[in-house]
Each structure stands twice: as structure tokens, then as C-alpha cells.
Amino acid sequence: MSGRSSTDLASGCRDGGGPDYPEGERDRRRTRLFFNLVAPAFHFIDRRLLPEYEKLLDTLSLDPAWTALDMATGTGTLAAALAARGHHVAGFDFVGRLLRRAQRRVPGGRFELMDLADVHRIPYGSYDLVTMGYLLHGLSPEMRRFTLCHAARIARHAVLVFDYARPGPWIVRLVEWAEGPHYASFIDRPFREITVGAGLTIVQSGPTSDVGGYWLLRPSRAGG
């Protein structure tokens, strides 16, 4: 896999050039603690999200031969939906409790305990598809751009994002308030603004549930 230098990347994210992660260790420790605490609730969350992911993947004509990397895979719900469609999947997350469940659900998948802070280690163009489910709303605006920028660097053909597309009821707002301070700044902005400067173009988007949506994006360099 070619190692493209940071100067080639209009979006400014770096390839193998060391961490340029815009958030501190303290913020990440807080998020890790939150997801460790709420890990048991993922049995309920998974049952809600799996049909959302499956239904949308059924409507997209993604080539099942495409390899997929699911960033912040959690318990591997999106990875499981991708594997069921024939994709060879890999995933990472920084909460071991969740990741062990992902490995049990997708025995053929390759899962790694890893922080987004280390995403620069994943080589340029090393997967056909990069996915992320309900990750971006929990990150700061700078971190969202960083994440999308690296997704664009890693993906050969497409990036698929699932997340909140409209404000949720009080229970969603309460849970997101507990997760951290970034939900409001995500939900208040059009998604297209979030992608500015990340080297991605939105090719398709739409709702997936009463509050959720998806965005299929193409890395700017990808042909066609």
C-alpha cells in the first residue's frame, strides 16, 4: 500500500506521520469510561440498530466483495450487518468489553483494541469501504473532521456514515448529554458542513429511522 505524504492530502490529515489527534487524553478517558459503564445497555441498543443497518444496506448496491473497516465498531452491530452481506470486515474500538462481543458476533472479522488517536497507523487506501455508526455525534467538531479526513484517506471507494439526522426525544437528549457535550453541535449543523475540508463528497443520504440517517460519501480522489 502506498504511503502518501501529508502534503498530498488536501484535507490535511496525515498518513503514518504521527498523531495529529485534536482532543486530549482526558476527553478520551471520559468517553471510554462512559461506554464501559453503559456496555450492558448495548444489548438493547444493538436490537434497535441492527434492523436500521440491515435495511439500509439492503437498499445500497455495495459490492459484497468490498473489504470494510468499521471505525468505533462497539459491539460490532454494523460489522455484523456488513459480514452478513458478504463483506470481509475489520473493526476497532477502544472499549475492550464491547469489542469482545463484536468478535464473538463476527468470528471471521478482525477486531482490534485501538483508539481513534492512532488511526493514522492504518495505511492509505487499505479498505474499499470505511463505515462508522453513531460515532460522529459524540466527537468535537475538530475530531469529526479528523475522523472523516482519515476515513477518506483509508477508503478506496466509499465511506458510509450512520448517525442522528434530527433531534431526538428527551430520552435521546438525556443519554447524549451524559455521553458528553458534543451532540448539540452535531445535530444543529447540516451534515454537508461537517464534511467540509475532509476530502469527501456526499453521493447519497436519507433517513433510516425517526431520528437516524445515513450518508454515503465518496473520497474526492476516487474515480467515477
Place of cell 475532509: 198
Nearer to ligand SAM, 124 or 183 (CB): 183
Q: Using CB under 6 A, list all residues that contact ligand SAM.
A: 28, 31, 35, 49, 72-74, 77-78, 93-95, 98, 115-116, 133-135, 138
Provide, rounded to whole angstroms, the least separation between the CB of residue 92 and ligand SAM.
Answer: 6
Alpha carbons 206 and 200: distance in angstroms, whole number: 17
Strand order in the sheet with 67-71: 110-113, 88-93, 67-71, 127-133, 155-164, 212-219, 200-207
Provide, rounded to whole angstroms, the least separation between the CB of residue 10 and ligand SAM.
Answer: 24
Nearer to ligand SAM, 28 or 221 (CB): 28
Provide, rounded to whole angstroms, the least separation between the CB of residue 123 and ligand SAM.
Answer: 18
Alpha carbons 143 and 123: distance in angstroms, whole number: 19
Residues in the chain: 224
Nearer to ligand SAM, 8 or 166 (CB): 166
Provide, rounded to whole angstroms, the least separation between the CB of residue 80 and ligand SAM.
Answer: 10
- Residue 138's Cβ-side half-sphere holds a number of Cα atoms within 13 Å equal to 20
Nearer to ligand SAM, 54 or 115 (CB): 115
Alpha carbons 180 and 160: distance in angstroms, whole number: 23
Provide, rounded to whole angstroms, the least separation between the CB of residue 156 and ligand SAM.
Answer: 21
Nearest-5° angle of CA 200, CA 54, CA 91? 60
Q: Which of 179, 203, 181, 206 is nearest to 52 (CA)?
A: 206
Nearer to ligand SAM, 95 or 149 (CB): 95
Provide, rounded to whole angstroms, the least separation between the CB of residue 170 and ligand SAM.
Answer: 18
Nearer to ligand SAM, 4 or 175 (CB): 175
Provide, rounded to whole angstroms, the least separation between the CB of residue 97 and ligand SAM.
Answer: 9
43-80 burial string, b = 16+ CB within 10 Å, else e?
eeebeebbebbbebbeeeebeeebbbbbbbbbbbbbbb
Nearer to ligand SAM, 116 or 222 (CB): 116
